[in-house]
């Protein structure tokens, strides 16, 4: 330090004497001795002892010089310099000890971390990417709600927006930003409170990957340690990619892709500048700044993000202004639609299909996205317009192809308001939509649509079923009973065939919910879900074959490895062709003149059934064509009553949706009385033993295909190129694709052997005139059931018991076991114990044994009701006169 000394600073200077040094005075007694420039000591020292001699003064000690009154300036600067040096010294000491303390804290908390050689980036939770049938994205599911995306896939301004908003010195610091810490500290002191966080992006990655969110000193120290480690082991791009794929953006979205899909319905690859800035603005407080919950704050945060990007040179001021949303405008965000109900359902199935999911997977579904949106719009529209008037607020719809392939599903009117799936999860009373299973059990017992029954009140074990209208028609056909949804008729049938038989039919058709065998099951009082109810109608539409509802076509890993592939396997035939024809006859009547006449579908033949539960708490309509089956439910979540019926709003929704769904499809008729051209697989039976013929090559029963309409065997082969079943066209002699080859669950025995190599009847040839098999040796014709016909009489030549041919069960087509008291006597009906009667079937000309008294629905014996009887079918319009426009 440069010191400038003046005369005033010197020792002995007298005030007012001037600034020049005075020469030194010597000698005389009493004179003061002044120090001189150049003396070795600035002050005099008396080192003479008492009594000793001196150079003058006679041995007396010299008199001490008198001090001046002025205080030397040098002594002041000396004290200031000492204070400064002291301050620097103690500051150094404090810093040293502070550094030691910081090192100690770091060592202490760092020691609580696992060894650094075990540190690794944990796997990101797997994502389930769910696609529609056309490959478009339905939704992402999993813990993150979106798949991971690489840094290089994003537009440059997406990471730029995050850097500018969250960590502007990200590309320069080593994991911890000292300048940022100082800046935050100064701001906090000035504001007398914490103004903002000081964590870098790297620190946030460290926290999210390895640590808990606790705001403690230990956690912050460990966060800094891990941040430095990350910077040493990963590039800046890799760290930023980890951050963007794992940071939470609110609304259940973790990662930039999930956020882009959740808020804007686009991939992060296609984000605009304004959208990217808005997502970056969410990060400080996702619950408060996201555009779904607080659009005004989101717009303000977007403005700040764009300004930060312009400040740091990522974009220009003009680009920032162009991308900014006007505060007066509405933020357009994606609204979760009904497809999210499908996504939730698919996610719930994943474990059952492929087990625990460890990596990202892609799920291809059967959903037709256009049908899905049509269904959503129609349900919302009708609920909004009719709900307030009729007292209901919710609706659900399931639509599937006749093979069980689900094409659309609506689980509610507003997914954002309620994620409860009323099509799959909810179970409600199906009402009269359950009655077809009761009637089918009756048809299988021997009833027909023209069987008459009594529509009247009765009581059975304390149970008294009543018609919803309070009116009773007396004697009606079963066709009318189902069409007009008469509760007493269904109840009588359920009691007669037994509830256990009804449950067996319902389960066989596709109802999977547990059912209790009580008579009231006839009225649909036991709860099922809409999905299973709709699928249980599919056999009526597809020719009698059971289906398993399916929404997943395939599941693959992200790299394309197949994890699951759907098959077309199913339960096989669950309804015999003759029973199916009777059921479709009745269900067509139900929509032609019955409770379902409010449904319509121009140009298409269709069947269906309405249903309304007690107090109209549930209203349903399930209907089908040869192409599709759709079920509709309306009601309230709290199970309160409405003024709905299955024949009004549910039927209207069904009609509008099915009309759109069938647009452009070729019109086809539902399976009915004619099955020409449909093939049914049947086992080959040895006529001598009545047992199935075993293929010696495979050890399995041999099968044949017969025309379901005529019962005649059809020559078939498998196309080696495609694996498709081909059938011989008698007109051209060429093989053509088989139209409806299926497996029969309960095959009808034909008594003929089929060559498995050619599919031809052994020992027979086709008559070119009739197409019927002709026996080469005897020249006998064979009818549709494989029974030889005497060409002279036209009567069947069958097995004889005494003098009578073997009886055939008209319901199943199987020979009835003969029970006779002697040769020549008629067989006994096992159901009634009465002798059977031999009659000629007018359709085939074949003699068959039938019950002497056709089975009738008997009223409960306990109430002594009048027994039903058989009479010609009445005009259906009579029911209209009785019941009017009943639509339950």
Span 298-338, pLDDT tens digits: 999 999 999 999 999 999 999 999 999 877 677 777 788 99
Lowest mean pLDDT among 7-21, 240-254, 330-344: 7-21
Do 70 and 15 meet the contact criterion of CB atoms below 8 Å apart? yes
Q: Which residue has the higher pLDDT, 323 or 855?
A: 323
pLDDT at 449 over 50: yes
Q: Is the pLDDT of residue 789 over 80?
A: no
Q: Give the pLDDT score at 488.
A: 95
- Residue 629 near residue 686 (C-beta atoms within 8 A): no
Structural domain boundaries in the chain: 1-15+72-99, 144-323, 679-739+752-785
| Least reliable range by pLDDT among 249-263, 537-551, 738-752 | 738-752
Lowest mean pLDDT among 94-108, 180-194, 606-620, 737-751: 737-751
> CA–CA separation, 335 vs 139, rounded Å?
12
The answer on pLDDT for 643 being more than 60 is yes
In the chain, what percentage of residues exceed pLDDT 90? 49
Measured distance CA(843)–CA(750) in Å, rounded: 18
Which has more confidence, 612 or 569?
612
Other Cβ atoms within 10 Å of 188 Cβ, number: 14
- The whole-number pLDDT of residue 697 equals 74
Is-contact 628 547, C-beta < 8 A?
Answer: no
* pLDDT, position 482: 96
675-710 pLDDT, tens digit per residue, is 445 566 666 767 666 566 777 777 666 767 766 555
Show the tokens assigned to 611.
Answer: 């249903």
If one compares 196 and 764, the residue with the highest pLDDT of the two is 196
Which helix (H) or strand (E) element contains residue 842? none
Answer whether residue 179 shows pLDDT above 90.
no
With 50 as the cut, is the pLDDT of residue 25 above it? Answer: no
What's the whole-number mean pLDDT along residues 233-261?
93
Residue 484 clears pLDDT 90, i.e. is over it: yes
Neighbours of 297 (CB within 10 A): 16
- Model confidence at 404: pLDDT above 50: yes
pLDDT of residue 228: 87
Greater pLDDT, 796 or 353 = 353
Contact 298, 282 (CB under 8 A): yes
The pLDDT of 547-568, averaged and rounded, is 93
Task: Name the band, by pLDDT with cuts 50, 70 and 90, for residue 831.
Answer: low
Strand partners, 463: 460
Q: Quick check: helix, strand or coil at residue 431?
A: helix
Alpha-carbon gap, residue 383 to 389, rounded angstroms: 10
Pick the more confident residue, 620 or 121.
Answer: 620
Residue 529 and residue 114: Cα distance in Å, rounded? 52
Mean pLDDT of the chain: 76
Which are the contacts of 80, defined by CB distance < 8 A and separation ≥ 6?
none
> Of the ranges 403-417, 481-495, 756-770, which one carries the lowest mean pLDDT score?
756-770
Considering only CA atoms, give the Rg of the chain.
48
Top-confidence range, 45-49, 77-81, 179-183, 635-639 = 635-639
Is 144-323 in CATH node 1.10.3810.10?
yes
DSSP 83: H
Candidates 31, 255, 252; CA nearest to 146 is 255
pTM confidence score: 0.66
Residue 29: band (very low, low, confident or very high) from pLDDT cuts 50, 70, 90: very low
% residues pLDDT > 70 (the chain) = 65
Q: How confident is the model at residue 621 (pLDDT cuts 50, 70, 90)?
A: very high
Look at residue 651 and tell me whether its pLDDT is greater than 90.
yes
For the chain, the distance separating the N- and C-terminal CA atoms, rounded to the nearest angstrom, is 108
Dihedral angle of Cα 25, 28, 32, 37, to the nearest 10 degrees: 30
Q: What is the pLDDT of residue 115?
A: 59
Tell me if 519 sits within 8 A of 460, measured CB to CB: yes
**Cβ-contact 283, 247 below 8 angstroms:** yes
Tens-digit pLDDT profile for residues 753-782: 434 344 444 444 444 444 444 443 333 444
- Report how far residue 449's alpha carbon sits from residue 451's, in angstroms, rounded to the nearest whole number: 6
Average pLDDT over residues 138-155: 91
Q: What is the mean pLDDT of residues 846-865?
A: 43
Q: Minimum mean pLDDT among 569-573, 592-596, 768-772: which range? A: 768-772
Residue 193: pLDDT band (50, 70, 90) is low
Residue 878, pLDDT score: 45
pLDDT higher at 537 or 21: 537
Question: Quick check: 462 pLDDT over 80?
Answer: yes
pLDDT band at 82 (very low <50, low <70, confident <90, very high): confident
What's the rounded mean pLDDT across residues 150-161? Answer: 95
Average pLDDT over residues 477-502: 95
Using left for φ > 0, alpha for ψ between -120 and 50, and beta otherwise, residue 532 falls in alpha
Going by pLDDT thresholds of 50, 70 and 90, the confidence category of residue 835 is: low
> What pLDDT was estimated at residue 120?
74
Confidence band for 39, pLDDT divided at 50, 70 and 90: very low
How sure is the predictor about 631, in pLDDT bands with cuts at 50, 70 and 90? very high
Q: Is-contact 249 262, C-beta < 8 A?
A: yes
What sign has the CA pseudo-torsion 35, 39, 45, 50?
Answer: negative
**Which of 28-37, 150-159, 411-420 is least confident?**
28-37
């Amino acid at each position: 330090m440069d010191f400038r000394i003046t005369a005033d600073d010197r020792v002995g200077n007298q005030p007012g004497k001037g600034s020049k040094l005075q020469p030194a005075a010597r000698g005389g007694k009493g004179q003061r001795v002044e120090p001189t420039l150049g003396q070795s000591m600035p002050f005099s020292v008396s080192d003479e002892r008492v009594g000793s001699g001196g150079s003058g003064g006679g041995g007396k000690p010299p008199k001490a010089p008198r001090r001046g009154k002025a205080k030397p300036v040098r002594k002041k600067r000396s004290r200031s310099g000492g204070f400064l040096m002291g301050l620097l010294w103690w500051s150094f000491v404090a810093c040293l000890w502070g550094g030691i303390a910081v090192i100690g804290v770091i060592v202490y908390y760092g020691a609580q971390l696992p060894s650094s050689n075990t540190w690794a980036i944990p796997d990101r939770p797997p994502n389930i990417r769910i696609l529609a049938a056309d490959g478009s994205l339905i939704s992402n599911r999993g813990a993150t709600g979106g798949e991971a995306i690489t840094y290089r896939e994003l537009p440059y301004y997406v990471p730029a927006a995050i850097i500018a908003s969250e960590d502007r010195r990200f590309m320069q610091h080593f994991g911890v930003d000292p300048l940022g810490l100082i800046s935050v500290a100064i701001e906090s002191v000035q504001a007398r409170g914490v103004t903002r966080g000081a964590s870098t992006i790297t620190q946030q990655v460290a926290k999210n990957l390895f640590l808990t969110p606790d705001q403690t000193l230990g956690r912050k120290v460990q966060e800094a340690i891990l941040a430095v480690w990350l910077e040493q082991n990963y590039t800046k791009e890799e760290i930023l990619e980890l951050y963007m794929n794992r940071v939470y953006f609110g609304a259940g979205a973790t990662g930039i892709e999930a956020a882009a899909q959740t808020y804007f319905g686009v991939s992060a690859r296609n984000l605009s500048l304004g959208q990217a800035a808005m997502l970056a603005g969410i990060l400080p407080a996702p619950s408060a700044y996201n555009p779904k919950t607080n659009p005004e704050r989101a717009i303000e945060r977007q403005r700040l993000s764009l300004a930060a990007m312009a400040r740091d040179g990522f974009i220009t001021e003009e680009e920032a202004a162009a991308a900014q949303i006007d505060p007066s405008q509405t933020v357009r965000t994606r609204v979760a639609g009904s497809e999210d109900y499908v996504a939730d359902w698919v996610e719930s199935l994943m474990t059952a299909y492929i087990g625990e999911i460890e990596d990202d997977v892609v799920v291809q579904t059967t959903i037709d996205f256009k049908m899905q949106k049509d269904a959503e719009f129609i349900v919302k529209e009708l609920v909004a317009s009719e709900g307030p008037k009729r007292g209901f607020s919710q609706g659900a719809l399931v639509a599937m192809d006749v093979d069980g392939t689900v094409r659309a599903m609506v689980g509610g009117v507003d997914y954002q308001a309620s994620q409860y799936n009323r099509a799959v999860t909810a179970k409600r009373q199906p009402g009269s939509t359950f009655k077809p299973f009761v009637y089918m059990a009756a048809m299988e017992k021997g009833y027909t649509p023209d069987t008459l029954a009594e529509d009247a009140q009765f009581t059975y074990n304390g149970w008294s079923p009543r018609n919803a209208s309070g009116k009773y028609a007396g004697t009606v056909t079963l066709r009318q009973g189902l069409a007009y949804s008469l509760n007493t008729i269904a109840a009588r049938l359920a009691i007669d065939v037994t509830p256990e038989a009804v449950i067996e039919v319902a389960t066989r058709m596709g109802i999977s919910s547990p059912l209790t065998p009580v008579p009231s099951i006839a009225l649909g009082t036991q709860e099922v879900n809409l999905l299973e109810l709709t699928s249980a109608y599919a056999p009526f539409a597809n020719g009698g074959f059971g289906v398993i509802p399916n929404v997943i076509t395939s599941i693959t890993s992200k790299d394309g490895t197949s994890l699951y592939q759907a098959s077309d396997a199913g339960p096989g035939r669950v309804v015999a062709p003759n029973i199916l024809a009777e059921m479709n006859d009745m269900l067509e009547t139900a929509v032609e003149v019955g409770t379902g006449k409010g449904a319509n579908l121009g140009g298409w033949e269709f069947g269906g059934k309405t249903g309304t539960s007690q107090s109209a708490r549930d209203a349903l309509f399930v209907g089908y064509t040869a192409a599709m089956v759709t079920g509709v439910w309306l009601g309230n979540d709290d199970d309160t009553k409405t003024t709905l019926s299955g024949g009004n709003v549910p039927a209207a929704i069904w009609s509008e949706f099915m009309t759109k769904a069938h647009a452009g499809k070729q019109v086809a008729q539902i399976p009915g009385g004619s099955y020409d051209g449909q093939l049914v697989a049947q086992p080959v039976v040895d006529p001598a033993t009545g047992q199935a013929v075993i293929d010696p090559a495979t050890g399995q029963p041999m099968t044949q295909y017969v025309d379901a309409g005529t019962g005649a065997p059809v020559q078939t082969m498998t196309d080696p190129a495609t694996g498709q079943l081909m059938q011989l066209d008698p007109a051209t002699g060429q093989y053509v694709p088989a139209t409806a080859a299926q497996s029969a669950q309960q095959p009808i025995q034909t008594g003929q052997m089929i060559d498995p190599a050619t599919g031809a009847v052994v020992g027979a040839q086709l008559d070119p005139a009739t197409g019927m098999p002709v026996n080469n040796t005897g020249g006998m014709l064979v009818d549709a059931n494989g029974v030889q016909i005497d060409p002279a009489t036209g009567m069947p030549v069958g097995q004889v018991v005494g003098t009578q041919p073997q009886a055939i069960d008209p319901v199943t087509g199987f020979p009835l076991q003969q029970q006779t008291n002697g040769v020549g006597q008629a067989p006994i009906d096992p159901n009634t114990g009465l002798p059977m009667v031999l009659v000629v079937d007018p359709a085939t000309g074949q003699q068959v044994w039938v019950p002497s008294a056709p089975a009738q629905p008997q009223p409960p014996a306990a109430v002594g009701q009048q027994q039903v009887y058989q009479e010609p079918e009445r005009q259906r319009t009579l029911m209209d006169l009785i019941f009017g426009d009943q639509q339950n």
